[in-house]
Amino acid sequence: MSEIKKKIEELSKQLEEHNYNYYVLSNPTISDYEFDKMLEELIRLEKEHPEFLRGDSPSQRVGGQITKEFKSVKHKYPMLSLSNTYNEGEVRDFDERIRKAGISDQEYVCELKYDGVSISLTYVNGELVQAVTRGDGEKGDDITANVKTIKSIPLKLRGTGFPDEFEIRGEIFMPKKEFLRINEEMRKQLVEEGYDEEEIVEKQLKNPRNATSGTLKQQDSKAVAERKLDCYLYSLLGENLPHGSHYENLLEAKKWGFRISADMEKVSSVDEILKYLEKWDKKRHHLDVETDGVVIKVNSYEHQKFLGFTAKSPRWAIAYKFKAQQVSTVLNEITYQVGRTGAITPVANLKPVQLAGTTVKRASLHNADIIEKLDVRLGDTVFVEKGGEIIPKIIAVDLSKRDMFVESNGPTVYITHCPECGEELVRSEGEANHYCPNEAGCPPQVKGKIEHYVSRRAMNIDSLGGETIAQLFGAGLIRNIADLYELKKEDLLKLDRMAEKSANNLLAGIEASKQVPFERVLFAIGIRHIGETTAKKLAHSFKSIDALSKASVETLLEVGDIGERIANTIVEFFSNAEHAAIISRLRLQGLQFELSEEQMSNASDKLKDKTFVVSGVFSKFSRDEIKKIIEQNGGKNVGSISGKTSYVLAGENMGPEKLKKAEKLGVPIISEDEFIKMVE
């Protein structure tokens, strides 16, 4: 055997062992750094010697494989659902039915019902060969490449005794911590991009289950690898399983390297089942995975077979669904937060109460309409619910607890003036939120706008953080972004904790920002609804702030993806005298208010009115670079082929389905070289 092949095998074996130690046993024996080094080495060797790359190599876990269209696969054994029960009585009925069928020495297995996406994995000779979603129960999608990135799913089995071919089913989920991490990161980025609170909540992941299913549908398995999904396996299917019962087979599967939950229990009476339900009703909130119930299964396969199935579900198992977590508590106060864009968010301040493992003190009330609909009043007892959403919400008022004192408080009257600056609030037609229009004088708005201006994706003045901004604002040194450029060292030195060195740094950072390209300046000045992408588009379409500031709504609407709301906001922004004054001060300071010469010469409108679907892998440019070139030349990228598509730009490995569709619709298919010629 070649030395290289041997080395690849050795590294693969060691890496899988470490993966197992880390993700299945939670007991790592080497550092992340050492692990990464080994993995890098493996990837390098496989790249140089692709003939030795195996489908079960640990390098598959970092992703990279693109699946254009998920293949539909028929399940060998249909994937059924379970009938639900909601109370003790129904669980007792289930037990009763089983006894009546003549099974008296029954054993049950109680498992938690994980809230994610179910998956069926096929192993042949100890190697993961296919991973298919539930789909409609008969047929599902082949998402093997994506599933291989989930570290706790073995690509190759350990030990001995597994059948040559079998299926194992389970639930892929996003751990709660990972869900919160992604949402927090998303929030930071969206704040930087200038979205307001309402839009952020709209764009964030809704709950861990949705997030899991969205992630698994990604075409690029690298994107899946970046989100740390996990998986519990809970059922084996096949001809030659080692035992005649469910529980014992799962214990065996654990030895083969599968992640089997330690929380399952084998019991032999309905009372023990009820004890399990009671225990987990509370305890489940401390797990890092969302659960929405318990699954109760008859253990013996022989009994299962005897009991059989109804049209939709097995008679040998049921799901018991936990009640949504609700508590009631008292509404002490409604406070109002003012965001950077002036949007007002009402917040319910509650008498602290324990709910689903955390103390809840506050809940969002969203906007005036919601408050009115709930008719929630100060002093009311309210029901608070925490669904999969993590952020608690008020679902109703407990009117039976509304006494004469609360009654006398009268309906909640929404504030009419800004709690921060006293300005009268406005609410535009069709908008759910109230706004404080005092952009230039309302402290959270002023500070928020400056924070946005200096943020990394905008002007990237990292020597100026939120605290210093608050300090400068407090000292009356800054009231808007133009004031930054007039800061003097002697003023800075008067501030607390501001030494010579930090003052120099700060001023140097501000000075350097004068070189930031126009498209980022346009994003940084904080026109409402203008995120990074829109700013880029506007910069390239209008080329200078002068041209943009003179554009009419009609002209703006001609730019792709600019709708009426954005067009109106832009026109309003530039017609405001205060904005005009700030912009002319910034211009005097030498900020970039037009595209650089290089950018101008690059850009063209050669691809104007042309839409492209870019698909596959390219050799001269990355896919993102190609998309950028299309935009720079006035073209538009779209995701799927339709009769309106001008060209399909096909790289290597483009999916056959897409090719077929393009041919059917008569959309021209061009190569990378042909494309380069178009823009030269």
The residues that touch ligand IVH, with contacts defined as CB under 6 A, are 80-82, 111, 113-114, 118, 134, 171, 234-235, 295, 314, 317, 319
Cβ pair 361, 352 in contact under 8 A:
yes
Are 259 and 232 a contacting pair, CB within 8 Å?
A: yes
Contact (Cβ atoms closer than 8 angstroms) between residue 598 and residue 592:
no
CA distance 40 to 36: 6
Cα separations (Å) of 159 from 14, 17, 149, 170? 15, 12, 22, 21
Segment holding 139, helix H or strand E: strand 139-141
The CA-to-CA distance between both ends of the chain, in Å, stands at: 50
CB 546 within 8 A of CB 586: no
**Eight-state DSSP code of residue 486:** G
On the CB side of 636, CA atoms within 13 Å amount to 16
How many angstroms separate the CA atoms of 8 and 272, rounded?
Answer: 50
Region class of 171: left (phi > 0), else alpha (psi between -120 and 50), else beta = beta
Instruction: Write down the least CB distance from residue 109 to ligand IVH, Å.
Output: 9
With H, G, I as helix, E, B as strand and everything else as coil, classify residue 334. Answer: strand
Helix (H, G, I), strand (E, B) or coil at 270: helix
Asked whether 256 and 79 are in contact (CB, 8 A), the reply is no
> CB under 8 Å to 452, separation ≥6 — which residues?
191, 192, 194, 340, 458, 524, 526
Question: Shortest gap between Cβ of 522 and ligand IVH (angstroms)?
Answer: 47
Cβ nearer to ligand IVH, comparing 15 with 109? 109
The amino acid sitting at 549 is: S
Structure tokens at 597: 């010469």
- Minimal distance, residue 105 CB to ligand IVH, in Å: 22
Q: Tell me if residue 113 is catalytic.
A: yes
What does the alpha-carbon distance between residue 54 and residue 67 come to, in Å, rounded to a whole number?
18
User: Shortest distance, CB of residue 638 to ligand IVH, whole angstroms?
Assistant: 34
The 10 Å Cβ neighbour count of residue 383 is: 14
**Residue among 508, 534, 509 nearest 454 (CA):** 509
CB of 278 to ligand IVH, least distance (A): 18
What is the signed CA dihedral for 221, 225, 227, 233, rounded to 10 degrees?
Answer: 100
CB of 83 to ligand IVH, least distance (A): 8
How far apart CA 278 and CA 275 sit, in angstroms, is 5
Helix (H) or strand (E) holding 226: helix 221-226
Per the DSSP assignment, residues forming a β-bridge with 156 are 127
Closest approach of ligand IVH to the CB of residue 134, in Å: 6
Least Å distance, CB 319 to ligand IVH, is 6
List, as one string, the DSSP characters of 410-479. Answer: -SPPPPSB-TTT-PBPB--TT-SS-B---TTT-HHHHHHHHHHHHSTTTT--TT--HHHHHHHHHTTS-S
Which residue's Cβ lies closest to ligand IVH?
118
Q: In terms of CB distance, is 59 or 299 closer to ligand IVH?
A: 299
Of 107 and 483, nearer to ligand IVH (C-beta) is: 107
Do residues 625 and 546 make contact, with C-beta atoms less than 8 angstroms apart?
A: no
- Residue closer to ligand IVH (CB basis): 190 or 318: 318
Considering beta carbons, is residue 318 or 551 the nearer one to ligand IVH? 318
Of residues 319 and 591, the one with the C-beta less far from ligand IVH: 319
State the minimum distance, in angstroms, from the CB of residue 637 to ligand IVH: 36
Task: Please identify, using beta-carbon distances, which residue of 294 and 586 lies nearer to ligand IVH.
Answer: 294
Minimum Å gap between C-beta 118 and ligand IVH is: 3
Helix (H), strand (E) at residue 631: helix 623-632
Amino acid, res. 326: Q
- Which CB atom, from 319 or from 626, has the smaller least distance to ligand IVH? 319
> Helix 32-48 and helix 3-19: axis angle, to 10°?
150
- The answer for 349, left when phi > 0, alpha when psi is -120 to 50, beta otherwise, is beta
- Residues making up the chain, counted from first to last: 680
- CA dihedral (396, 397, 398, 403) in degrees, to 10, reads 180
Residue 231 or residue 394: which is nearer to ligand IVH going by CB? 231
Active-site residue among 6, 13, 76, 113?
A: 113
Helices (H), 128-283: 144-147, 176-192, 197-203, 208-216, 221-226, 246-255, 270-283
Cβ atoms within 10 A of the Cβ of 202, count? 11
* Minimum distance of ligand IVH from residue 314's CB (angstroms): 5
Q: Which is nearer to ligand IVH, 117 or 591 (CB)?
A: 117
Of 97 and 606, the one with the shorter C-beta distance to ligand IVH is: 97
Closest separation between CB of residue 293 and ligand IVH, Å?
8
The token duo for 129 is 């060969």
DSSP percent split of the chain into helix, strand, coil, nearest 5: 40, 20, 35
Closer residue to ligand IVH in complex, CB, 113/228: 113
Which residues are catalytically annotated? 113
